[in-house]
Structure 1
Amino acid sequence: MTAGTQELLRGFAFGLTHVGHVRDENQDTFFVDEAKGVFAVMDGAGGLKDGAVASGLVKESLSTITQPLSAEDLLDQVEGRLIVAKDRIETAAARANGAPMGTTIAALLTYGTNFACLWAGDSRVYRFRNGQLEQLTTDHTEAQELVDQKVITIDEAKSFSRRHVITRAIGSGLDLELEVVSGNLRLGDRFLLCSDGLTGHLDDPVLTSFLLSGALNATALGLINGALDAGGQDNVTVIVVDIDRVLSGNGDAC
């Protein structure tokens, strides 16, 4: 490393989405902005095209984020954009005769050596570090609430009749309640963001096997194909993010 340079960490990502084998329309979408450190998966819900409208409005709002000045600024910007997106979704729902319209979100924000995960619903963020897979988010679903209350087991939750009913979302007539966790990045971290179309088919050991090696695009494609091969009952979306070093001559984030 030459004098005057500073080692920085940044996320490099590849995302894919697929309609699956059953649905006629893909209501999932994803957003990637490596330069600003914003990565997000949205799983829309609603009749006809309403879910796609909701997830698309969130993506549109995220695209207006400006270059952050700090980790706190980045989090504030994302939260602000999601408030705007919620208002736009509710306006669109009212124009559609009040039909339910909403979307989940699972977002990873990176700045310097810091990260934050922000989510509502059952889309997830995982971290793969030193060969170990860790789910950083907790599903906002009726099934997860019953597991937390020890009413049903994790295995029972997989076949619970209302396992897909979410308790938090952007829109759908729900208050906007975002959960956030944060931590430090390490060189070599790999993150997986996904909709439940992936985790509904592939369990943690299988996810680990895909994340163990391979380039970003090959890993993302392998995960999508794994879900499709296992039935592809839902739309499925993934983003794989690798944390690598970049060099800056003035210490500013690249």
Structure 2
Amino acid sequence: MITASRSDIGRIRQINEDRHWAGTLENGATLAIVADGMGGHQAGDVASQIAVNTFRDRMEKSAAKAGLTVEEGKMLIRQAIVGANDVVYDMASRNEQYYNMGTTIVAALLLDERAIIGHIGDSRVYQIAENGIVQLTEDHTLVNELVKSGQVSAEEAAHHPRRNVITRAVGTDAQVTVDILTTDLAAGDVLLLCSDGLTNMVSDEQLLRTVQEDGPKLSDKAEHLIQLALHAGGDDNITVVLIQADNNVTTEGVTTDDRT
């Protein structure tokens, strides 16, 4: 696997509340996570950092064994995200300055040709293949609930004044439900993990065109996506992680660029 990641504060925000990580476990599996903190003065950046650190630590300890199965991977991702929720919620409960802080989480564990994805909130995973782009995750947002109930159309949802109100987050409640899904990967397929600072600014068509462009390295494509979001206004923090499946199950070219 080849991975590349970028994060940018954007043009409006004073703090980058996004956090991310991508790397390789001891068993050769690729692991990536994006967390978009919320709370502003209520320490969204603290929530997202705690969530990433907790998730990564638990997965590095539990998911690095040889011969890890998909079912085991699904269980471990769920447990790691629930564990992150426990730590963030406990911190928020015990410290007044962190009251009601929270974060989204989207994470991917790649085992050979299978990807296991866990998520809470409105950070997304897309799969980009030769035949197009598919959003794998479902946003946990008020507007998405309105779309599913037929109260608003998908077109109306894109510009709805409450489109950023999320219905599920890490750290805001003692108990949390984690969505888990799997997908098959062919050589050349790309997984895109991102915060809504990208998807609120850049269309699916632009995502597809940028990732499928011949020539640029994966890290250059990640940077191009950041620049597209900035050019469109950069209203929020923007974080991108790209993971490309190749014939050799190795990880190279891991890059980070946190501009805060």
Shared fold per TM-score greater than 0.5: yes
- Give the C-alpha shift of residue 114 in structure 1: 1.4
Give 1:174 shift.
6.3
- Of residues 7, 21, 30, the one that matches 1:31 is 21
Distance 1:216 1:17 in 2: 14
Moved more, 100-109 or 232-241: 100-109
Paired with 1:106 and 1:247, the residues of 2 have a C-alpha distance of 22
Deviation digits for residues 48-70 of structure 1, max 9, x if unmatched? 26111111111111222231422
Listed as ranges, the matches of 1:190-209 within 5 Å are 190-209=190-209
Rg larger in 1 or in 2?
Answer: 1
Q: Deviations over 1:145-201 (max 9, x none)?
A: 000111001111122121111011111226311112212221111111110000101
Partner of 1:41: 34
2:46 paired with 1:53: yes
Deviations, residues 60-81 of structure 1 (Å, cap 9, x unaligned): 1122223142222222222222
* Contact 2:85–2:174 under 8 Å retained in 1: no
What is the Cα deviation at residue 221 of structure 1? 0.1
Partner of 1:4: none
Q: Report the structure, 1 or 2, having the larger helix content.
A: 2
User: Which amino acid is the alignment partner of residue 76 of structure 1?
Assistant: M
Alignment of structure 1 residues 142-153 onto 2, 5 Å: 142-153=142-153
C-alpha distance in 2 between matches for 1:221 and 1:78: 28
SS in 2 for 1:170: coil
Identity %: 33
Moved >3 Å (runs of 4+): none
User: What SS is found at the alignment partner of 2:176?
Assistant: coil
What's the RMSD between the two structures over aligned residues? 1.7
User: Higher strand fraction: Structure 1 or Structure 2?
Assistant: 1
Q: What CA distance in whole angstroms lies between the structure 2 residues aligned with 1:155 and 1:174?
A: 34
SS at match of 1:147: helix
Length-normalised TM-score, structure 1? 0.88
Paired residues of 1:41 and 1:123 also in contact (CA < 8 A): yes
* 2:170 counterpart letter in structure 1: I
Name stretches of at least 5 consecutive residues in structure 1 with no aligned partner: 1-10, 249-254
Equivalent residues of 2:42, 2:99 under 8 A apart: no
| Alpha-carbon distance in structure 1 between the residues aligned to 2:173 and 2:43 | 13
- Counterpart check, 1:92 vs 2:91: yes
Amino acid across the alignment from 2:244: D
Q: Is the deviation greater in 110-119 or in 68-77?
A: 68-77
Is 1:168–1:174's contact at 8 Å kept on the other side of the alignment?
no
8 Å CA contact retained: 1:190, 1:241: yes
**5+ residue gaps, structure 2:** 251-260
Task: Give the whole-Å Cα distance in 1 for the aligned partners of 2:249 and 2:116.
Answer: 22
Q: 1:135 to 1:247 in 2, by over 3 A?
A: closer
C-alpha contact 1:131 1:212 (8 A) present in aligned 2: no
Cα deviation, residue 96, structure 1: 2.5
Number of the residue aligned with 1:221: 223
Q: 1:233 maps to what in 2?
A: 235
- Stretch of structure 1 that moved more, 52-61 or 142-151: 52-61
**Is 2:12–2:236's contact at 8 Å kept on the other side of the alignment?**
yes
- Residues 1:225 and 1:49: Cα distance change in structure 2 (over 3 Å): farther
